Structure 1
């Protein structure tokens, strides 16, 4: 199924939508047992990956046993870390077995127009993350205006990122929006993936993000989102993305 407005493919089953999902647990109070449960639920649901805190990467890799990918974060959630510290954190996660790393930019630098600093920050982490591993760049889109969103996406692409991602889910400005996803998708033009994360809690939310151009979804309540298909027998019309 394809969205008539945007031309983006729209999942029509829970199994199809699950392949977009990074099944996420980043709460500071999470335990190893919680991560094991996350992996088992993710495997049962058929998600693409689990996303866990750096200290749990090795545990998640062991629990996953090749059934799904393991993603983690760096510079999380503020992004206010020196670039070499972010790079070291990312490198350690790769050693521990992470397949993907989601880094947080210095949002203040972006708000001040320091896009060269953003690019250098991303490039430092890219240098620490081998090319066969995926690097996603969290831009905290709700804290930026449209021009800043576009400029940060361009900086991330120039620095070698594989994805741009809307949000940490921890910023008071909010999480993903269909407008931001559409703008990010239009900016990267299919050359990079786009991950919608933060506040995507229902089937309608998820399908709207995909219609706007999201190629990955960060979800903590994955089971509830996927259950939406069973509730109505199929996907609901996606909200107008404006793109």
Structure 2
């Protein structure tokens, strides 16, 4: 697959302005990226600007901590769908996972999947905060809940994507989910390594530098 078509061109910083979002969308159209990955308040704006381009919108919800209530995540997901999102990236409830409350974690994801109304849901595990057993368990919860993707990282915690995490996720989910690597992918060499490890999608704000080598 063309690398450009694997990239979610990302801007999630708190101080992003409308001009920043407009530039992000225009770059995504020019380079043929898969989606723009953005915070929810910009979904309708981005959907309008990208209309007819073939580039979708990924709306991030429960971001970046994942510790919102399930009802709050569901409300964000429903609004994103109304505003024209193509996909949703949600953050798993990391604390509940570490506590071993897989019933809560699975239900949290499943309710967002339901609210997404057929739009693919990518679940961010925040692997830098988890050990291998917890990553495997998180992947199993995601599969049970009907997630379309498992994703490594928000890029806002203590670390980003690693080859080890991507390989472990791929070994766990097989073909049941796709994999998104995000966080700390800065150049073509790193992007190619993530893809070789099993990543189907890459989330990065360095998209142009990556595809231009």
The answer to whether the superposition gives a TM-score over 0.5 is yes
Matched, 1:69 2:52: no
Give the Cα–Cα distance (whole angstroms) in 2 for the partners of residues 106 and 81 of structure 1: 8
- Give yes or no for the alignment of 1:126 onto 2:113: yes
Tell me what 1:99 maps to. 86
Deviations 1:137-196 (A, max 9, x none): 000011101110000000011001000000000012x01000000110111101211000
TM-score by length of 2: 0.98
The equivalent residue for 1:177 is: 162
Cα offset, 1:66, TM superposition:
2.3
For residue 123 of structure 2, the aligned residue among 122, 137, 142 is 137
Structure-to-structure mapping, 1:222-233, within 5 angstroms: 222-228=207-213
C-alpha distance after superposition, 1:218-237 (max 9, x if no partner): 01010101121xxxxxxxxx
Deviation at 1:32, TM superposition (A): 1.0
Within 2, Cα distance between the matches of 1:116 and 1:171? 24
CA distance in 1, matches of 2:175, 2:95: 27
Per the alignment, residue 88 of structure 1 pairs with 75
* Residue 218 of structure 1 pairs with residue 203 of structure 2: yes
Q: Secondary structure at the match of 2:212?
A: helix
The residue that corresponds to 1:237 in the other structure is none
RMSD, aligned α-carbons: 0.8
Q: What is the count of residue pairs matched by the alignment?
A: 212
> Whose radius of gyration is greater, 1 or 2?
1
Q: CA deviation at 1:117?
A: 1.3
Structure 2 gaps of 5+ residues are none
Matched residues in 2 for 1:139 and 1:219: separation? 16
Name the TM-score, length of structure 1 as normaliser: 0.86
**Residues 1:151 and 2:137 are matched in the alignment:** yes
* Contiguous gaps of at least 5 residues in structure 1: 1-10, 229-243
SS in structure 1 of the partner of residue 60 of structure 2: strand
| Structure 2 equivalent of residue 164 of structure 1 | 150
